[in-house]
Structure 1
Amino acid sequence: MPRAATPKPSPRKKTVPDLQASGATPRTLAIDIGGSGIKAIILGPDGKPLTERQRVETPKPATPKAVMKAILGLIAPLGAFDRVAVGFPGVVVDGVTHTAANLHKDWKGFDMGRELGKALSRPVRVLNDAGVQGFGVIEGHGVEMLLTLGTGMGCALFVDGKYVPNLELAHHPFRHGKTYEEYVGNAALERVGKKKWNKHVQRVVEQLLPIWNPRVLYLGGGNARLIDFPLPKQVKVTENVAGLLGGFALWKDEPPPERL
């Protein structure tokens, strides 16, 4: 179970919204950290959005300090919330980030759950971003798999609704000496163009289906909207907002396990 940080109240900064929640509770602040953008939204007690999605560019360099500052500015207009769910692009164990290939080396060993909890005086749970997005789309039975196509490539695996944490398939060698991420990430899209990139994605799908045999393979992330090849019947394209909506699952009565 992900650790919930329970920090003591600390002096509020001007960028932090009033945390005295009002109306229906609990209200979940969902944050999705990506290599190119950081997004946030408030979810109600039923997991549905209560606010419009907010977005800012991911700072460069994307150090923990810079990203934390960007988050505080991003959430200021959203209003009150009771708890926080964060999707992070890398390996996360007990709220501590261990890898962040598309952000910065300083994320290794950073206790994001604790530090963000201290800044907001609210409990925080952090999970790999593909895992969070998967929780926003899965049906909860059989083997389900999700790939996110954005700055890099994320991957999440679920068995009967239970999350298999931190599956970093993106960095496994795939084709012509390139990893999956190097083959279908945003840099590849910009290098080879949309038409050839679609062929790359199609090859990845064709490679994964007979190995993992998922009941459903979901394709999400910001670049999934560019897919224009015929999809096998068990493959579905999802909306990118699932990366925020899935944050609600981190605060269910039995949250997903996060330990390796």
Structure 2
Amino acid sequence: MNIAITAPKRLYQEIGLALQERIQSDEFKIGDRLPPERDIAEEMEVSRSVVREAIIMLELQGLVEVRKGSGVYVNAKPSADAQQSQLATLRANSDIGPFELLQARQVLESQIASFAAMHVTKNDIGRLREALDTERQQLETGHGDYDGDELFHLTIAEASQNSVLSDIVKDLWMRRDESSMWRQLHSRITNMNYRTAWLDDHEKVLLALQRRDPEGAREAMWQHLENVKQTLFELSDVDDPQFDGFLFR
């Protein structure tokens, strides 16, 4: 007997569906501005990052529109047929919310950096320096790709000398690269000054690895990914009065 197994909905999907139902019932009508993100988070007893991911989900479905410097507005009302189709899509969808993904990376990659500090070789250090050079060149030329950034993180995983850990980090980056949620988050962020700060973070991680300092490497990687989370959260906050200046300058 074949048993169909469906993946459980992610938390942001549950919140997104709850908001979608409120749009369907006309609690939020077309043209209405959604309540502030903080209010939704308090009402539904979830973090603001989960609400942010739910809004991105609704934006991808064309149900809401993010207006620069103004807020999130209802753009369309889902039909009953569309709702059923979306439910089926969500059950099959493995897309991870961008902030949930960053949290997972923070937990895993900080420990991997610590382990790598005990096994890193001179060749690994050389490859990490090359990755930083690539990243620095991309910043200087205004290159939009994150090749150097990704290479740096993957090289640290490889420096652990553990292929399972390396595969885990590769999978996390693959999920990021394939994520429509991640692309939607970044589509509204045009100010790339934050990448200079992330390069500085990478330098601190590399210094700890050169010292063969496991705790220092763990702390540096944890703080780096915390900085990434907080920066992206701040730059994509439509409720912030500086939203327009940050994202659409």
Q: What TM-score, normalized to structure 2?
A: 0.26
- Answer with 1 or 2: which has the greater Rg: 2
Q: What TM-score, normalized to structure 1?
A: 0.25
More strand by share: 1
